[in-house]
């Protein structure tokens, strides 16, 4: 629902109705819209973590797996996530799971080894794309985004063992 209409247009009444629960039941688990959105973000991050873990379990290096996940995410048409700012204003702890995920991911990428410069280049390029999406700033054309992914794939995959 939030992915279709955009979280900024999400109402607790609509979520409760779609989930088949009372608004009171929903509020018991998510006492505010910000907490509901935080739950959605945590679910998204855990799905991303699971995709990366699955690739690792198949013996794939983390950096190219991360790039594939981010490339798919970048291609998805989603409404801008500017709603995040109002959620942060309501609850500054909202960023905690996002920052924890990013920190753990960077730690895992470093631990896997490889050229630290390439790791940082790939990580920061992907973070930059996410920030552009967050601010609804589409500076890159589809062709330019493809060039960016080509370059970061070369950096991120070219030196993996």
The answer as to whether 95 is a domain residue is yes
Q: What is the pLDDT of residues 27-66, one digit of tens each?
A: 777 777 777 777 777 888 888 899 899 988 898 889 988 9
The answer as to whether 107 is a domain residue is yes
The answer as to whether 44 is a domain residue is yes
> At what angle are helices 96-112 and 116-134 packed, to 10 degrees?
160
Does the pLDDT at position 160 exceed 90?
no
Residues in Cβ contact with 83 at an 8 Å cutoff, skipping those fewer than 6 apart: 6, 7, 8, 37
The answer as to whether 14 is a domain residue is no
Q: What is the pLDDT of residues 88-128, one digit of tens each?
A: 777 777 788 889 999 999 999 999 988 999 999 999 999 99
d(CA 21, CA 23): 6
Q: Which domain range does residue 128 map to? A: 34-158
Q: How many domains does the chain have?
A: 1
The answer as to whether 19 is a domain residue is no
According to the model, what pLDDT value does residue 90 have? 72
Give the pLDDT band of residue 9 (cuts 50, 70, 90): low
According to the model, what pLDDT value does residue 82 have? 61
The answer as to whether 101 is a domain residue is yes
| Segment (H or E) for 150 | helix 142-158
pTM over 0.85: no
The answer as to whether 132 is a domain residue is yes
The answer as to whether 67 is a domain residue is yes
Q: What is the pLDDT of residues 129-144, one digit of tens each?
A: 888 887 777 788 889 9
d(CA 129, CA 137): 9
- The 8-class DSSP code of residue 135 comes to T
């Amino acid at each position: 629902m939030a992915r279709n209409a955009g979280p900024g247009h999400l109402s607790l009444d609509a979520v409760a109705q779609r989930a088949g629960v009372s608004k009171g039941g929903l509020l018991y688990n998510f006492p505010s819209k910000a907490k509901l959105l935080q739950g959605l973000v945590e679910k998204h991050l855990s799905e991303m973590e699971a995709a990366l873990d699955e690739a690792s379990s198949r013996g794939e290096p983390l950096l190219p797996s991360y790039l594939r996940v981010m490339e798919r995410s970048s291609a998805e048409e989603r409404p801008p996530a500017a709603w995040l700012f109002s959620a942060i204003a309501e609850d500054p702890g909202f960023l905690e799971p996002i920052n924890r995920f990013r920190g753990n991911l960077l730690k895992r990428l470093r631990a896997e080894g490889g050229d630290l410069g390439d790791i940082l280049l790939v990580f920061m390029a992907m973070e930059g794309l996410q920030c552009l999406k967050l601010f609804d700033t589409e500076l890159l054309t589809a062709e330019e985004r493809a060039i960016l992914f080509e370059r970061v794939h070369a950096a991120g995959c070219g030196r993996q063992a």
